[in-house]
């Protein structure tokens, strides 16, 4: 148990030993013989592991293929491979650790590692520490604590406080994530449907996401989230016609590159001048001005960075990487619908899922990696009959172990 607790905390600690290797990844690799058997107890755990390995092999093959007309960074090849292996092994550790500790304790340990990363100077706080550093670990800590209290009303209160702090600190996307999480928690007060509950919930979730986006956009444009957020939002809408597209122009660059080179680039492959022009053309199509240094210096300076987990899996690892990203997207949608449909979704799990769904589409793989492995490790559902932790074994009939918050 001590080894599991220490490893979970180290997985949250983002200290670079060399070439992207962290203490947590290193421990996860050492503990492979211990966590491999745990995969059989959870739905989709083995396919996810297999998808990660296949993506790595695809990345190496694509690198060899692209070497004829692209420059290769060995440093990036090694670090990107370690990142995907580390995420994969980290998920395995989290699943194994659920045998020893409840989910809220694992989340607390992990968040302590995230906080230690901030204080170790590994994250630049810039002018908005809440937005760029503290929001996620503080949210995990708060929701872990109230989860242990078994009171849904306390979860709602914590989410409202987190949403208010985000609104006051010019954090539009995090505010939207918290708002959607709050709606899902409140939703569970409604009577559960008995027929096609999961599918009905999934459809309703999509509708709620659209409504939340439109309501959030209105609040931002009307200035309720601050003058800075209002000015940026109005400019983005005027430029592209959409707050979402205008705020994430990298999406259009990714689509342009996908059309031009659907099989991907390869691990460690650097963009050619023609690739950069293709990306710029995609961004210019939404009236974004790509000749501002951001495209050359950030997106294609030292590596290909498409600012989404999906894009960052496709570019270096090709179609298998894209399939892995899509599989995670579909799986998390299925899990969130299942939890809410059965009225067993806590604020902690729902927050992590919504955050990860956002990151899959709109945040870089590197910065999303810690919460990606934490989310998959905590929310994968046990197989029927498998003896996983009681927190998530409820879908398979252990009603006697139902936590109090599920009946609130």
Chunk the chain into consecutive blocks of 10 residues (it has 408) and report each block's average pLDDT, rounded to whole numbers: 94 92 96 96 94 94 94 95 96 96 96 90 70 92 93 94 90 90 92 75 81 73 68 65 70 94 95 95 89 91 94 96 96 94 94 96 94 97 67 38 34
**Model confidence, pTM:** 0.90
Domain hosting residue 40, numbered range: 2-407
Distance, in Å, from the CA atom of 264 to the CA atom of 4, rounded to the nearest integer, reads 37
The per-residue pLDDT for 287 is 85
* pLDDT of 71: 95
Q: Count of domains in the chain? A: 1
* pLDDT score for 387: 53
Buried residues in 80-118 as b, exposed as e (16+ CB within 10 A) = bbbbbbbbbbbbbbbbbbbbebbbbbbbbbbbbbbbbbb
Do 328 and 52 form a contact (C-beta atoms < 8 A)? no
């Amino acid at each position: 148990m001590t080894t599991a607790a220490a490893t979970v905390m180290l997985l949250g600690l983002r200290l670079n030993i060399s070439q992207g290797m962290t203490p947590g990844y290193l421990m996860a690799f050492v503990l492979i013989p211990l966590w491999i058997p745990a995969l059989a107890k959870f739905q989709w755990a083995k396919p996810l592991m297999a998808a990660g390995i296949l993506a790595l092999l695809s990345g190496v093959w694509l690198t060899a293929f692209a070497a004829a007309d692209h420059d290769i960074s060995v440093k990036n090849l090694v670090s990107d491979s370690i990142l995907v292996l580390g995420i994969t092994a980290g998920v395995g550790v989290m699943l194994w650790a659920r045998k020893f500790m409840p989910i809220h304790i694992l989340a607390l340990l992990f968040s302590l590692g995230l906080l230690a990363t901030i204080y170790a100077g590994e994250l630049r706080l810039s002018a908005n520490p809440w937005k760029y550093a503290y929001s996620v670990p503080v949210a995990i800590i708060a929701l872990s604590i109230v989860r242990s209290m078994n009171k849904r009303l306390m979860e709602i209160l914590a989410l409202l406080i987190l949403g208010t702090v985000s609104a006051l600190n010019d954090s539009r996307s995090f505010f939207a994530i918290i708002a959607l999480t709050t709606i899902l928690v409140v939703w569970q007060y409604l009577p559960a449907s008995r027929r096609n509950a999961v599918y009905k919930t999934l459809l309703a979730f999509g509708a709620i996401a659209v409504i939340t986006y439109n309501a959030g956009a209105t609040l931002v444009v009307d200035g309720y989230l601050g003058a800075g957020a209002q000015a940026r939002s109005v400019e983005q809408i005027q430029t592209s016609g959409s707050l979402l597209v205008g705020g994430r122009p990298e999406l259009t660059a990714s689509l342009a590159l996908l059309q031009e080179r659907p099989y991907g680039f390869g691990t460690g492959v650097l963009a050619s001048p023609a690739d950069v022009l293709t990306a710029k053309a995609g961004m210019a199509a939404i009236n974004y001005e790509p000749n501002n240094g951001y495209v050359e210096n950030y997106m294609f300076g030292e590596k290909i960075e498409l600012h989404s987990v999906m894009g960052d899996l496709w570019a270096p690892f090709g179609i298998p990487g894209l399939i892995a990203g899509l599989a995670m997207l579909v799986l998390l949608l299925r899990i969130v619908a299942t939890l809410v449909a059965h009225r067993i979704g806590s604020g902690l799990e729902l927050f992590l899922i919504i955050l990860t769904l956002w990151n899959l589409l709109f945040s870089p793989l590197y910065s999303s990696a810690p919460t990606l492995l934490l989310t998959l490790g905590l929310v994968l559902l046990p197989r029927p009959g498998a003896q996983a932790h009681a927190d998530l074994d409820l879908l398979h009939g252990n009603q006697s172990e139902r936590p109090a918050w599920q009946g609130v």
